[in-house]
Chain A
């Protein structure tokens, strides 16, 4: 399996007046992530499944990834919490995108590659960036192929 851990694009700042789940992508975040999606398309990245958290910024990010989708989208609330066995058990497909949040995507990346969630903070996944993994989605059994911040993906779209 090729697994793409994708952090949501830049969203509105947290504020006491608005529930965290309702924070939408900013106009700039949306525009930049659209360019990153064009960059991924140039890399021939396609997804069989896009799983995303139910938080609005993640839903909107998954929507922007739809041009790269050959299969289904699935909403999974376990992407809005610390990574769990249940999350891994639900993974199927050859090329799967998981759209979620930090620090949990970093923890998931550390868990899948090193078998230990504890070093998640050492894996920087920018807003709109991604970690590209390959292997069986079992703790310690995946290889980290690439870490893409948003900026190089956007640049690729311009080439």
Chain B
């Protein structure tokens, strides 16, 4: 599909112009730029608008790796995963294959600690909490060790060297990501009992939202749906971990409450999905036509 200029991105009016995301990193103090003539400044601004550098989220990743290593704030691990996910989508929009496996590796390294962080903050019953805390220590040691691997240094260095993406070319990838979300949604509705189908939809949605945010759009409709999917996922993780806990037999009431909560959240997520489908179909159609 031919790449389209700015106007292509302005067509889907359903999407809201984006203020910088709350999770975006604070801008680093940059050296003062050399004085420019107004014409030169205008050209530079136009060039910046036409390209998408990965630098903001690479700096975000750098900043939160330090927090993730120290363990002083669970947000550090979470933001490492967020930044890695956003950079992965950036590479995908640039039709790049390399470095995506490395970013997925980084997200996987941090996944277990993140799941445990979320579950511990929800206040599980004591025998489960004790087991989770033991598990947590092991997982944190494993994470910190993996953050010392040369692969991470290589990943950060390689990302720093990549040139910005042309905006129009990145935007031309949206229909493909949007169509995938619709496919995953249909599958989730068909396989209502399959947790994996819900995960597939959640991941596809997340990628679409990140792609749109790279392009300066803030789709509120997707964010709400993603929150509903995230709630479902949190409960699904709790159910999965409880099954691995040796004390599970003594926690039958908690297990039952979790199972009910999982069903309630699944229904809420699928309702949210059903409400969002027309918006998504219209958006994908607009991206295809633009």
B154 within 8 A of A: yes
B50 within 8 A of A: no
Which residues from chain B contact A73 at a C-beta distance below 8 Å?
A: 97-102
* Residue of A with least CB distance to B95: A63
Known contacts A66-B97, A66-B98, A72-B101; A59 and B151 CB within 8 A of each other:
no
Compute how far the CA of A86 lies from the CA of B100 in the bound complex, rounded to whole angstroms: 23
Please tell me if the beta carbons of A55 and B155 are within 8 angstroms of each other in the complex. no
> Number of A interface residues, CB 8 Å?
23
Compute how far the CA of A39 lies from the CA of B102 in the bound complex, rounded to whole angstroms: 28
A121 within 8 A of B: no
Ordered by A's residue number, 8 sampled pairs between the chains whose C-beta atoms are within 8 Å are A24-B163, A54-B161, A59-B99, A72-B101, A73-B99, A73-B102, A77-B150, A90-B150
CB-contacts of B148-206 with A (<8 A): 150-151, 153-155, 157-158, 160-163
* Residue of A with least CB distance to B157: A54
A156 within 8 A of B: no
B96 within 8 A of A: yes
9 closest pairs, A vs B, by CB? A54-B158, A75-B154, A54-B157, A77-B154, A66-B97, A56-B161, A72-B101, A54-B154, A73-B98
Which residues from chain A contact B98 at a C-beta distance below 8 Å?
A: 50, 52, 59, 62-63, 66, 73, 75
* Residue of A with least CB distance to B161: A56
Distance between A42 CB and nearest chain B CB, rounded to angstroms: 21
A70 within 8 A of B: no
Contact of B157 among A21, A24, A69 (CB under 8 A): A21
- Chain A CB within 10 Å — which of B98, B102, B162 has the most? B98
Please tell me if the beta carbons of B102 and A74 are within 8 angstroms of each other in the complex. yes
A78 within 8 A of B: yes
* Residue of B with least CB distance to A99: B98
14 new A-B contacts at CB < 8 Å, known A55-B158, A75-B157: A21-B157, A22-B161, A54-B157, A55-B161, A56-B161, A59-B162, A63-B97, A66-B97, A73-B99, A75-B158, A76-B150, A77-B154, A77-B157, A78-B150
A113 within 8 A of B: no
> Number of B interface residues, CB 8 Å?
18
Distance between A115 CB and nearest chain B CB, rounded to angstroms: 24
Distance between A71 CB and nearest chain B CB, rounded to angstroms: 9
Which residues from chain A contact B151 at a C-beta distance below 8 Å?
A: 74-76
Distance between B169 CB and nearest chain A CB, rounded to angstroms: 15
* Residue of B with least CB distance to A75: B154
Compute how far the CA of A54 lies from the CA of B157 in the bound complex, rounded to whole angstroms: 6
* Residue of B with least CB distance to A49: B101
Which residues from chain B contact A90 at a C-beta distance below 8 Å?
A: 150
A102 within 8 A of B: no
* Residue of B with least CB distance to A52: B98
Compute how far the CA of A88 lies from the CA of B53 in the bound complex, rounded to whole angstroms: 34
Please tell me if the beta carbons of B154 and A63 are within 8 angstroms of each other in the complex. no
Compute how far the CA of A75 lies from the CA of B162 in the bound complex, rounded to whole angstroms: 14
Distance between A85 CB and nearest chain B CB, rounded to angstroms: 13
Contact of B102 among A21, A22, A75 (CB under 8 A): A75
Compute how far the CA of A46 lies from the CA of B158 in the bound complex, rounded to whole angstroms: 24
Which residues from chain B contact A53 at a C-beta distance below 8 Å?
A: 154
Compute how far the CA of A122 lies from the CA of B13 in the bound complex, rounded to whole angstroms: 63
Which residues from chain A contact B97 at a C-beta distance below 8 Å?
A: 63, 66, 69, 73
Distance between A70 CB and nearest chain B CB, rounded to angstroms: 12
Distance between B145 CB and nearest chain A CB, rounded to angstroms: 15
CB-contacts of A2-60 with B (<8 A): 21-22, 24, 50, 52-56, 59
Compute how far the CA of A21 lies from the CA of B163 in the bound complex, rounded to whole angstroms: 12
Interface string of B88-106 (1 = CB under 8 A from A): 0000000011111110000
